[in-house]
Amino acid sequence: NAGVTQTPKFRVLKTGQSMTLLCAQDMNHEYMYWYRQDPGMGLRLIHYSVGEGTTAKGEVPDGYNVSRLKKQNFLLGLESAAPSQTSVYFCASSYSERDGNEKLFFGSGTQLSVL
């Protein structure tokens, strides 16, 4: 069972460079999320998607874009990386039915450093 898979696991960028983080889930989940985790800040929601072809902004969306072209994939893009985007990024997914199964399944994270 793969669950939620994130690639890459580590990446170092220079300021101004662009990159895309890929999240794939094999659980047929409708909902997918991107969070960032910074020391002392907990997890903060960047963007989320409630279905294929739909995306929406979360708490800290500036500097990021997302796409959900296929139900199983959720891509997070940084068009022009900044040092403030140094963080650990987590993708998560969940079912859509409100039946006691609303828990999130997380990937193992991407450690991104922007120099």
Partner 1 sequence: SQQGEEDPQALSIQEGENATMNCSYKTSINNLQWYRQNSGRGLVHLILIRSNEREKHSGRLRVTLDTSKKSSSLLITASRAADTASYFCATDNSNSGYALNFGKGTSLLVTP
65-67 sheet: strands from edge to edge? 4-7, 19-25, 73-78, 65-67
| Smallest separation (angstroms) from partner 1 to the CB of 48 | 5
Please pick, from the candidates 33, 64, 76, 114, the single residue that binds partner 1 as defined by CB under 8 A: 33
Residues 63-102 that bind partner 1 (CB under 8 A): 90, 92, 94-96, 98, 100, 102
**Residue placing its CB nearer to partner 1 in the complex, 13 or 48:** 48
Residue 49 binds to partner 1 (criterion: CB under 8 A) = yes
- The nearer residue to partner 1, 17 or 104, going by C-beta atoms, is 104
Using rule CB under 8 A, residue 103 touches partner 1: yes
